[in-house]
Structure formats: C-alpha cells, structure tokens
Amino acid sequence: MRDRRIIELLSPAKNAECAIAAIKAGADAVYMGASSFGARSLAGNSFDAIKKSADFAHLFGARVYITLNTILFDGEVEKARETAFKAYESGADALIIQDMGLMNGELPPIELHASTQCNIRTPEKAKFLEDAGFDTLVLARELSLKEIENIAKSVKARIECFVHGALCVSYSGQCYLSHAIGGRSGNRGECAQPCRMPYLLEDFNGKIVSKDAHFLSLKDMNRSKSVGEMLKAGASSFKIEGRLKDLDYVKNITAYYRRILDAEIEKNGLCRASFGRSRFPFEPNPSKTFNRGFCEYFLKDTSEKCASFDTPKSKGEFIGKVENTIKGGFETNSKELQNGDGILIKNPDGRIFGTLVNFSKNGKIKCASNCPACRGAEIWRNKSVAFEAQISGECSRKIGINAEFSETPSEYKISFSHPPTNSYSEVKINKGETEPAQNFDAASERISASLQKSGGTNFEVISLKFSAKSAPFLKASEINEFRRTLLKALEEKIASLHELKRKVKRIPPKFSAIKKEFFDADYRANVSNKKAEDFYKKCGVKIEEPALECNAADISEKELMRTKHCILRELGMCKKEGKFPKSLVEPLILKSGEASLKIRFNCGDCGMSIFNAHFKSSEAR
C-alpha cells in the first residue's frame, strides 16, 4: 500500500518577520509564541503578529502553530484558555500544549499538539496522549530510530520529531535545575541555561577529575543525513529548533531542509504539506549560521560524542589550522577568511578565544584584538561576511498555476487554475462588446505574454494554453487588469479553502488509566493547578505531589535533571566498559560558583541524573 502521509517541515519563528521568511524559504508550518505561556518567554507575539503570519502562511497552504507549552498556576489556566481562543480567531492552526489543565475544559476547534515538554518516550505515553485528544505528538529528542518506530506503530496521531537545532541536555519537561539554582523554571519558559555554565568535576573526596569545562553543554542536533530513515520510522513532521534564533538562521536552515525533504518526498511518493516553490539567493549551509558543532543525538548509537565541553558558544565551520604565528595574527593554508569574518581559535592546550579578522591576504591573517594563537590551533569561522551578504537577500516562494485563453461562439474566456487545491478563477469577455484583432498572431502573442506576467504576486504561470482560433483587440491595460483581478480572486479562493480545513471537530478525550510503569505521579508529572490534578484523577491517577515550581519545600533530595548524556561516556570513562578509575570515589560532584551538584549514573539506561549535592556520607561507595 502506498504511503500517503503528508510530510511537513516545521520552522521556528520568534516574530512575524521570521515566520514570513521561513514560509518563503520553504516551511510547511511555523511555530511561534503568543503574548505569554510559551516555553520561550522572550519570544512572545501579539495577536496582530499571529494574524499577519497566518494570513501569509495560508496563501501557500502552510500553517501556524501557537506554543502554550508552559505549566500553569491556578490563576493562569483560564487566561491561557482565553489566549487559545484569541490565537484561533487570529488564524492559528494548532496549539502546542504541555499542561493537562488546558485539556480539562473547552478549547477552540483546531488541532492540539502534545509538546515535547510532555516527555513522550514510550508507546504507552503516546497512546495515553492520543486518547486525551492530541492530534500530533512531539517526541523526546533523545529517542532512537527504533523507539520512534515503536511509538509511530502504536498510535494514529501524527509523529513530530526534532531534526535540527540546539539541544536541552535534560529530557524536556524533566529539567528543574534552573528553578533549583535561581528560581527560573524551564517549565515556565524562563530557563537560565545552567547547562551552559562551566563546572569543576570532583569525586566525593574532593579529588579533581577534570578542571573547568562545560560538562552539561551539548553540540547542536543535525539529522540531515538521516531524514529518509526518520521518514521510514514514522516521522511525518520535521521540526527545526530555534524560536530565539535570528532571521539568517531561520532562512538558512529552512532552505537546507526544504531541499532534503523535497528529494525524499519525491523518492518515496509522499505528499508535501503545503505548496509553492521557494528560491533563495544563497547556497544553504548549516555550518555558516549559529552552531556548536553537530551530532545526531543518539538517533543510532549511544556512543556518539555529543558534548560541547570546550564552549557553549557558536563554533561555526572548521577552516583549518594555524601554520605559523606572526605579530598580531597567524598564517594558515586556508584562503577562505575575509576581512570582517568572526573566528574562534582553539589552541592545542584547550584555550579558546574569539576575534575578528582585520586583514586577510594569501593566508596571512591579522586580528582585531590580541591573538594568542599557537601553531597547530584549530580555526573555526562563526561569522562569514560573504555569506551574510548573500543571505540578506529575500527568498521568494511562488505558487505554480495554469493559465488558459479560450473561446466559445459568443465569448472569450481567460482562466487561472491551481490543480492541487482545485481553485479556479475566470473572466468572460462578450465577443459582441469587443473588436476582432486584425492580426491574430500578434494579438495572441501579446495576450499570452501579458497573462504570463506575475511579478510582485505569489504566483507564477507554469503552463499557458491558448486554444482560441480568433482573438479580440485588447489594450495592454485591459489585459493587465484582467490578470490582476483573476490572480486576486484565485488567492482569495485558496485562502478560503484553508480556512475551511482549519476548523476541526474536537472529540471528547478518553480518560484512559495511566499505568504506573511509565508515569511519575510525583513532582515530575508537572501538575501545578487543580484543573490538571482533576484531569489525572479522571484517568485513575492520584497526583502524589505538585510540580516543583509550586513547592517551597526542601528540594535537596529531588532529581533535578534526567539525561541521556553521560559525562563519563564523553570522557572515555564508561563504567559499563570497565573504564571508570578505581581511585575515584562516587558520587561525582559538579561545582560552579555556589552551585554544587551530585551525579548519579544510570548505566542501565545509558544516562545520568543530577541532584543537589546534599547527601549522607554513606552514599559514597
């Protein structure tokens, strides 16, 4: 049986400008925040901005998703519900939700997506959320191809997977470190990113295992080489992270994955979620915009090196190595660097610094600031002046349509059509009200040329049929007016068709029981309001304690982070492989300023957990 899944490229948008740029670059959908209740509190938007984004997206059959994916306190649930309805009225196509309190009450008639903050890692959790009323499930980033496949086979809901962007070191929705250290909760959209801080690693007795490094900082995800395998595993929506990223990043990464997905869609006979061909004035390249280096994040192999211990900042693209040092700079075999480029230098001893290129000629580089580069140092370019100039140009996206000039005994007819949506517009010209052209060939050529002009609109004529045997005498201004009228009418019909599809019939949730084996009924359920507590009660689950953000009690014994990332594995000290030094006494401790964190290695799951370093001496092995 032919796979008829509709495949979607989903891009981030911190504002309407980014949303429109992403659509032009080829996104089938964008996700953006409303004024509040989104997991990126600094990426909020007005309802006018949402409407502007949705109006543009809908012209191409593309969609806009609104993030309401924070946990909510009692006084916020109804405000969030009001936001949901206003977002729907502004043209939104779906809501991305974390808090089950919103599911316990009325919502607008649009799709509901279970956020990655819901920590969807098992078929059982996926089935529960599908029964609760979610149309799309955003899976945890850490899952392997086999785990994605197992979940996809267990539900009818659409499967959405991250394919590119920055990585949270913790399972999403299960990180409480920022809240514990500084009172800024990731589950409330206010993460202070303590995972990007440098830490000292010690054993229980204070022996230094490793000096300051960014032990909880990860590289960025890049699964571009595995898109085909993810499709086969059951992913239908491919999500790019980055609601705080700039315009260049959104354009570059969207255009890059558009090409990859288009090739896979054609190869596998699949359907694309929107229409319109994108063109961009640059060659897409993920290495040329913000990145910390790339990994596939355990999609195939848990032994993959995914950490970015050196720096949490953008490394960019590898250029080469320092061959010799000179006053104020260095010499390299690479001829790629230009005046104004930003570079990151990593010396052989591990020291890292960044600077700008002040002078570049034949591999001789002078830097804008002090340049303590050593021979053999790695050179990374994290800002390319040439690429920034190219990508500053505007992308374009055009809807391919058919044009036809035909006749009947009594009239001429001009029509435009868009077969994918069965949209059609036409104008009829009464033969009795026009003069016949004296030169048929010249008239037909003039009419045909005018009908094919679509510059400044969202359309391009890809097929023109002139089937009339005669032609009227029409002024250029008359033909142009006919064309403008027809294109506007066609655009309105396409948009109206999308409006009809946007409204979905909500099915009452099934309150199926949640098995204890895959559900934590303690603070990790992130229940912070009575509505959510009542929702789980209907599912046969008694929530044992509220979300950590509600509780001022001692959190010293609480798990603050659960992660697939393992420091020992990255350091070549894997316990399962027998490489952990016998001289070290567990638990190992991470220290940064006043923060002191205890590590528990979960070798059975190839991961680790982080706790506050408040423990009894009996815990040492």
pLDDT tens digit string along 360-409?
A: 999 999 999 888 999 999 999 999 999 999 999 999 999 999 999 999 99
Question: Which residues partner with 95 through β-bridges?
Answer: 66, 112
User: Which ranges in 269-350 belong to alpha helices (H)?
Assistant: none
Cβ atoms of 157 and 136 closer than 8 Å: yes
Architecture of the domain whose range is 6-167+220-288: Alpha-Beta Barrel (3.20)
Of residues 354, 358, 346, 353, the one with CA closest to residue 385: 358
pLDDT of residue 508: 79
pLDDT above 90 for 106: yes
Which pLDDT does position 553 carry in this prediction? Answer: 60
Structure confidence at residue 614 (pLDDT) = 61
What mean pLDDT comes out for the span 205-225? 96
The whole-angstrom separation of Cα 351 and Cα 349 is 6
Per-residue pLDDT, 111: 96
User: What is each CA distance from 232 to 313, 376, 482, 601, in whole angstroms?
Assistant: 34, 43, 47, 33
At residue 617 the predicted structure's pLDDT band, cuts being 50, 70 and 90, is very low
Structure letter (DSSP) for residue 578: T
Q: What is the percent of the chain where pLDDT is above 70? A: 97
Q: How far apart are CA 39 and CA 185, in angstroms?
A: 10
- Asked if residue 588 lies in contact with residue 203, where contact means CB atoms within 8 angstroms, the answer is yes
Q: According to the model, what pLDDT value does residue 80 have? A: 96
* Range 316-391 has CATH code 2.40.128: no
pLDDT of residue 509: 79
> Could you tell me if 315 and 380 are in contact, meaning their C-beta atoms sit under 8 angstroms apart?
yes
- Rounded CA separation 322/334 (Å): 9
Structure tokens at 602: 């979960």
Distance in angstroms (rounded) separating the CA atoms of residues 386 and 380: 15
| pLDDT one-digit tens code per residue, 536-585 | 999 888 899 999 999 766 677 889 999 999 999 999 999 999 999 999 99
Closest by Cα among 526, 456, 524 to 484: 456
Is pLDDT above 80 for 452?
yes
Quote the CA–CA distance of 582 and 186 in Å, as a whole number.
37
Q: Is the pLDDT of residue 68 over 80?
A: yes
- Pick from 577, 561, 527, 545: nearest CA to 100: 527
Q: Which two tokens stand for residue 28?
A: 């089938």
Q: Is the pLDDT of residue 4 over 90?
A: no
pLDDT of residue 618: 40
Mean pLDDT of 485-510: 89
Look up tokens 């980033």; give the residue: 141
* Contact in structure between 235 and 21 (CB atoms under 8 Å): no
Distances (CA, A) of 490 to 342, 414, 425, 477: 47, 13, 6, 20
Confidence grade of residue 456 (pLDDT, cut at 50, 70, 90): confident
Distance between CA atoms of residues 329 and 358, nearest Å: 9
Q: CA-based diameter of the chain, in Å?
A: 103
Task: Give tens-digit pLDDT for 122-162.
Answer: 999 999 999 999 999 999 999 999 999 999 999 999 999 99
| Average pLDDT rounded to a whole number, residues 195-217 | 95
The arithmetic mean of pLDDT across residues 88-97, rounded, is 97
Q: What residues does each domain of the chain span?
A: 6-167+220-288, 316-391, 398-502
Query: Contact 586/204 with Cβ under 8 angstroms?
Result: yes
What Å distances lie between residue 11 and 15, 28, 68, 93, 162, CA to CA? Answer: 12, 8, 17, 14, 10
Nearest Cα to Cα of residue 12 among 1, 2, 22: 22
Q: How far apart, in whole angstroms, are the C-alpha atoms of residue 255 and residue 24?
A: 9
Q: What DSSP character marks residue 161?
A: E
One-letter amino acid for residue 588 of the chain: L
In this structure, are strands 6-12 and 29-33 parallel, antiparallel, or unpaired? parallel
Give me Rg for the CA atoms of the chain. 28
- Our CA angle for 146, 147, 150, nearest 5°, is 85
Q: Which residue has the tokens 């804008």?
A: 368
What pLDDT is stored for residue 1 in this prediction?
Answer: 42
Instruction: Judge contact between 257 and 29, C-beta under 8 A.
Output: no
Is pLDDT at 621 greater than 60 in this prediction?
no
Residue 593: pLDDT band with limits 50, 70, 90: confident
Query: How many CA within 13 A on the CB side of residue 56?
Result: 23
Residue with tokens 């499709």: 231
Q: Helix count (H) and strand count (E) of the chain?
A: 13, 28
Residues 6+ apart with CB under 8 A from 582: none
Give CA–CA dist 317/574, Å, rounded. Answer: 30
First to last CA, the chain: 57
Residue type, 287: S
> Are the C-beta atoms of 606 and 570 separated by less than 8 Å?
no
In a 3-state reduction of DSSP, which class is residue 554? coil
Nearest partner of 99 among 53, 36, 151, judged by Cα: 36
pLDDT exceeds 90 at position 187: yes
Residue 103 scores a pLDDT above 50:
yes
- SS3 (DSSP) at 148: helix
